[in-house]
Amino acid sequence: MGDGSKDRAVPSESLARVMRLARVQGGVLSRGQLRDCGYSHERSHRRVVAGEWGSWEGGLTIPMLDQPDPDAITAWKGRLRVGPTAIISGTLAARLDGFDVPNLVPLVLAYPRAPHPVAGLRFIQPNSEVPDRSTRYARGLKIRRGPAAVMDALSVARPKDFLQLLDLALQRRWLTGPLLRRELSGRREWWIWGTTALRRALEYAEGGARSEAERRMKLILQRAKLSGWRANHPVVNRCGRVIAEIDFAHGATMLAIEVDGRAHHTSREAFERDRVRQNTLHELGWVVLRFTWEQITRNPLGVEATVRRALARSTRKGVSGGVFLRRTAGRNRGERPLVRAFGAGHRQLLGAAASAGEHQVRAADGDHARDPLPPGE
C-alpha cells in the first residue's frame, strides 16, 4: 500500500516541478525540460489533446492563471530554441525593455549558430559575441537594450517596416544622429547585417526631419524655394524649459507648420498632448498650419500654395524679422521677458500683450530667415 501511494505521488511531484518552471518562463517549456522534470511525453500529449496545454515547435506552452504575456512567451521560445547564449533583440526586446513599439521585427541573436526556425521569430547569427554593455536581463531573459534593439531591427527590416520604425524612433528620440554614428562604428566587429540600412537611418536622423512626412514636407519647401524655415524648432519658457517644438517654424512671420505622419495619433493620450501643444503655440502668437500625410503625398502643389498664401498674409500684417515684445509701463528696461523662443544666432522674445497701449512691438534682426532648413538645435 505504501509503495502504491509513492507511485501515485510521482506524477504529482513532477507536475509541480513543471508548473514552477512554467511560471518562471512565461508558460513555455522545451521537451527536454519536461523530461528533466519527470513528466512523460504520453502525459504531455494527453493534456495537449484535451486542450489544456498548447504545443510549439520545441515543446509545450502552459496557460498561467495570471494574464499571459505574448512578448514573454515569444521570447522564451527563442531562448529555449537557441540555449543560454540567446539574446533577444529587435522590436521584441524593445517591448520587453518598456518601449511602446509595434512588434514588427522580432529577433533572436544566436551565437555561434542559428537553430531551426520558430514561427514569429527571426534568428540572426552575429560574427562574434555581442558586447555585454548593450544587454541587460528582463523577465529572466538576456535582451538587447531598447535603442540597440531598435537599431538591430532597422538593419534587417523590410522597407515598409523600416520607415515606420525609423519614424517612431526619431519622433520619440530613441535614436539620434550621434547615437547611430557611434553604433555604426562600434558594431563592425560583430554585426554583418544591414550596414546600408543604418547608414540610411543616419542620413535621415542628421537631416533634421523625424518622419517620412516631415522629410517630404521639407522637400516641398525646398523645391518651392521658400526659405527661412527651421526644422524641429524648440520654444522655451523664461526658465529655459522647452514647452513646445515646431516641426517647421518661420520665425520672421511667426508661422508654424505641423505635419501629421501616416501613424498620427495612435492613442488618445497622444491626441490630447497634441491639442495642448497647439493651443500653447497659439497663445504665444504662432499661426499654425497643419498638413496630413495624404495632403503632402497626393497634393504637394496644394500644400505649397497654402503656405505661400499664409506667408503673404503674415507679411501684409507688417510682421517681419522676428518679434520682440517688451512692456513700456510698469517695467524697467532690461527686465527678463515673459517668454522666449530660440532662433539661429539670437533670441526672439515673445509674450502676450495685456492691452494695445501697454506693449510696444519692434522688429528684430531677421538674418536667420534666409537660412536653409538646418536641423533643430
Tens digits of residue pLDDT in 219-247? 999 999 999 999 888 888 778 788 888 88
* pLDDT per residue of the chain (377 residues) written in tens, 0 to 9: 444 444 344 568 888 999 999 999 999 999 999 999 989 888 899 999 999 999 998 999 998 766 678 999 999 999 999 999 999 999 999 999 999 999 999 999 998 888 888 889 999 988 888 888 889 999 999 999 999 999 999 999 999 899 889 988 988 889 988 999 988 887 877 776 788 898 999 988 887 667 788 888 999 999 999 999 998 888 887 787 888 888 899 988 999 999 887 655 455 666 777 778 788 888 888 999 999 888 998 999 999 999 999 999 887 765 444 433 333 333 444 444 333 343 333 333 333 333 333 333 233 333 333 344 444 43
From residue 169, give the alpha-carbon distance in Å to each of 157, 160, 373.
Answer: 14, 14, 21
pLDDT of residue 231: 87
Residue type, 84: P
Its pTM stands at 0.67
Domains of the chain and CATH, by start: 2-61 (no CATH), 81-206 (no CATH), 212-370 (3.40.960.10)
For 287-339, give the DSSP string: EEEEE-HHHHHH-HHHHHHHHHHHHHHHHHTT--S-EEEEE-SS--TTPPPSE
Place of cell 516641398: 220
Alpha-carbon distance 364 to 367, whole Å? 9
Dihedral angle over CA of 27, 33, 35, 40, nearest 10 = 10
- The closest alpha carbon to 56, from 85, 84, 36, 26, belongs to 26
Distance of alpha carbon 76 from alpha carbon 65, whole angstroms: 18
Predicted pLDDT of residue 317: 65
What pLDDT does residue 75 have?
A: 96
Contact (CB, 8 A) for 303 and 291: yes
Q: Taking the CA of residue 324 as centre, how many other CA atoms within 13 Å lie in the half-sphere pointing to its CB?
A: 12
pLDDT of residue 229: 93
What is the structure's pLDDT at 170? Answer: 86
Q: What is the torsional sign of CA 217, 223, 225, 230?
A: positive
Residue 156 pLDDT: 92
What is the separation, in whole angstroms, between the first and last Cα of the chain? 82
> What whole-number distance in Å separates Cα of residue 127 and Cα of residue 355?
69
| Residue whose C-alpha cell reads 538645435 in the numeric block | 377
The helices-and-strands tally (H runs, E runs) of the chain is 13, 16
